[in-house]
Amino acid sequence: MRVVASRSSTDRTSLSDGEGLAPFDPMRIEEEGADVHLSAIANTNEVVARCSLWWSDVPPLESYRVGVVGHYASANDKSAAVLLESVLDHLRHRYCTVAIGPMDGNTWRSYRFVTERGSEAPFVMEPTNPPEWPLQFERAGFARLAEYFSALNTNIQVRDMRVAQVAARLAERGITIRAAERTALQDEIGRIYQLSRVAFTRNFLYTPVTEEAFRTQYAKVLPHVVPDLVLLAERGGELAGYLFAIPDLAQAARGSAVDTFVIKTVAILPDADLRGLGTVLVARAHEAGARMGFARCIHALMHESNVSRNISNHYASTMRRYTLFSKEIAP
């Protein structure tokens, strides 16, 4: 078995994915700014494991020089071991002192492994992986860097008694909440981007992203957006916070009735006067979902230390856990 390095989609196009490995679109190498793509090639000349590496434009982590491992897939443990050994060697030669993964370049894209699956089926925009993949990282010496979870509220009719009082206080401070308008969604995405840049700055492994890249990501889901599930909190006409939710289209893809919606993002400006706004937005989303006939709501992909966990705990129970891994690299 050998490992081949590709630095462009053209290099990768000549390779054939082996049985048991989902096809990979080589255009992602360039579109998502990977510095190199690695393919473990079996004696049959087929790709049996793959990943991309980033080191030029990566999230910060303390005093480390970070290398990121994403686009990961492996058909078996042997090919994973060969690939991950090559990963560490490549990053060492680029003077990286820690490898982080799985992450497709940054936290705006897909990252984390599912490590506690639970009984619920995957939901829309959720990362998925075979159970073997995180074990392959651990065998290669990676340890758990950060933990995340998703929670399921099976009864969105339940009300948080604190909300009315908090909502009244926010209203006294000039905060209004409204649903987005479908005809103005493109403009709203621009405002959401500007707020996200400020609200997420202190998030773990945050990196800035251009508005063009942000809009490109949202363009994939905008045709499926239900405006009543996109809530905008404003103060003096300026956006102070938002909640972005979407119906669970994965249910429809499985041929099931869509009775669940997914709260993907809640973002609030860092302002003491806005304390409690996230709680109110989640409560309003539950109310809107109930009016539209939804029965359940998923609070998606929250960091264990995020304030969203406190909000979620009033309504929902953990349904899935995820892990981001890291490994220090010796010179």
Distance between CA atoms of residues 119 and 112, nearest Å: 19
Residue 327 tokens read as 């490994």
pLDDT score at 307: 60
Q: Which domains does the chain have, with CATH numbers?
A: 2-148+324-328 (3.40.630.30), 153-321 (3.40.630.30)
Q: Which of 28, 1, 2, 3 is nearest to 13 (CA)?
A: 28
Within 10 Å of residue 182's Cβ, how many Cβ atoms? 13
For 54, what's the count of Cα atoms within 13 Å in the CB-facing half-sphere? 24
Please check whether residue 207 is in contact with residue 246, taking contact to mean a CB–CB distance below 8 angstroms.
no
Per-residue pLDDT of the chain (331 residues; tens, 9 = 90+): 899 999 999 999 888 888 889 889 999 999 999 999 999 999 888 999 999 999 999 999 999 999 999 999 999 999 999 999 999 999 999 999 999 999 999 999 999 999 999 999 999 999 999 999 999 999 999 999 999 999 999 999 988 888 999 999 999 999 999 999 988 888 899 999 999 999 999 899 999 999 999 999 898 898 999 999 999 999 999 999 999 999 999 999 999 999 999 999 999 999 999 999 999 999 999 999 999 999 999 999 999 876 655 666 667 799 999 999 999 999 8
Beta strands in the chain (DSSP E): 2-6, 16-17, 36-41, 46-54, 66-74, 98-101, 113-116, 143-153, 175-179, 230-235, 238-247, 260-268, 296-303, 317-328
Please check whether residue 71 is in contact with residue 127, taking contact to mean a CB–CB distance below 8 angstroms.
no
pLDDT score at 314: 67
pLDDT score at 310: 60
pLDDT score at 309: 59
Distance between CA atoms of residues 322 and 304, nearest Å: 10
pTM for this prediction: 0.93
Distance between CA atoms of residues 239 and 269, nearest Å: 9
Number of H helices, E strands in the chain: 10, 14
SS3 state of residue 141? coil
Distance between CA atoms of residues 199 and 306, nearest Å: 12
Location of structure tokens 């956006």 = 239
Cis peptide before 208, with omega less than 30 degrees from 0? no
